[in-house]
């Protein structure tokens, strides 16, 4: 079966204050985005990569990421949209027509493992829709607008959803088409599939598979990377 990846890296990086977007910050002498792309480049089950970046970053990514690190699997560098959902849709629209499985991953999750990617693909072949996730460790409370606690949620049934999120190609195409038609905006890709009445399966991942959104996350990622290399 043919598998293609959509790597979404069109974020504006508003939580970083040094004038550089989070996906381009150096992590062990290499941009965060390059670490992420490496994992998909070396995964034998991934046949092609579609990289989604903001339009203003397209030339930079082509020269400083794609060409510099000689990625051979990147078929397209696609301009993103105003929201993540629009960016993912643009990536899905660029997929090959004969693609069977689609892996969607955040460009700022550089600590994803080859094993996670491969297991996601195999699981999607069986279950149609699979998301990597981990059980919530902290107590989660629902809060009123005035910042008072409404209730405490049962942690036993709560999972922290990550990426990759992997789907049968026809299913995720239909999910995005329906969402666009209905004007629905979800907080992740799986929420669009859930609207179709399709069960989304959980694949346990890792607490180190963090999304880099703040400078503190970058410090953590450096520590995790160092621990993995020791």
Stated pTM of the model: 0.95
* Lookup: tokens for 47: 């046949």
Cα separation, 107 vs 19, in Å, equals 18
Q: Indicate the domain borders of the chain.
A: 3-229
Look up residue 198 and give its DSSP letter: P
List residues bridging with 166 in a β-sheet: 103, 130
Cα–Cα distance for residue pair 149/193, rounded to 1 Å: 31
Is 3-229 assigned to CATH 3.40.50.300? no
Instruction: Output the tens digit of pLDDT for each of the chain's 230 residues.
Output: 999 999 999 987 655 656 678 999 999 999 999 999 999 999 999 999 999 999 999 999 999 999 999 999 999 999 999 999 999 999 999 999 999 999 999 999 999 999 999 999 999 999 999 999 999 999 999 999 999 999 999 999 999 999 999 999 999 999 999 999 999 999 999 999 999 999 999 999 999 999 999 889 999 999 998 888 76
Assigned token pair, 227: 């621990």
């Amino acid at each position: 079966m043919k598998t293609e990846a959509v790597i979404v890296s069109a974020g504006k990086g508003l939580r970083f204050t040094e004038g550089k977007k989070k996906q381009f910050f150096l992590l062990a002498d290499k941009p965060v985005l390059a670490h992420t792309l490496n994992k998909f480049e070396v995964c034998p089950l991934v046949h092609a990569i579609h990289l989604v970046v903001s339009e203003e970053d397209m030339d930079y990514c082509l020269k400083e990421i794609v060409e510099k690190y000689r990625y051979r699997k990147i078929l397209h560098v696609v301009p993103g949209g105003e929201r993540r959902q629009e960016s993912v849709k643009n990536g899905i629209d660029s997929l090959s027509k004969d693609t069977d499985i689609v892996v969607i991953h955040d460009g700022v999750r550089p600590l994803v493992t080859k094993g996670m990617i491969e297991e996601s693909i195999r699981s999607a072949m069986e279950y149609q829709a699979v998301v990597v996730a981990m059980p919530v460790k902290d107590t989660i409370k629902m809060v009123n607008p005035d910042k008072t606690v409404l209730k405490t949620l049962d942690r036993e049934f709560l999972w922290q959803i990550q990426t990759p999120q992997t789907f049968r190609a026809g299913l995720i195409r239909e999910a995005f088409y329906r969402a666009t038609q209905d004007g629905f905006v979800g907080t992740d890709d799986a929420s669009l599939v859930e609207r179709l009445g399709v069960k989304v399966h959980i694949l346990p991942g890792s607490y180190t598979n963090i999304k880099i959104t703040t400078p503190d996350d970058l410090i953590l990622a450096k520590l995790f990377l160092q621990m993995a290399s020791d």
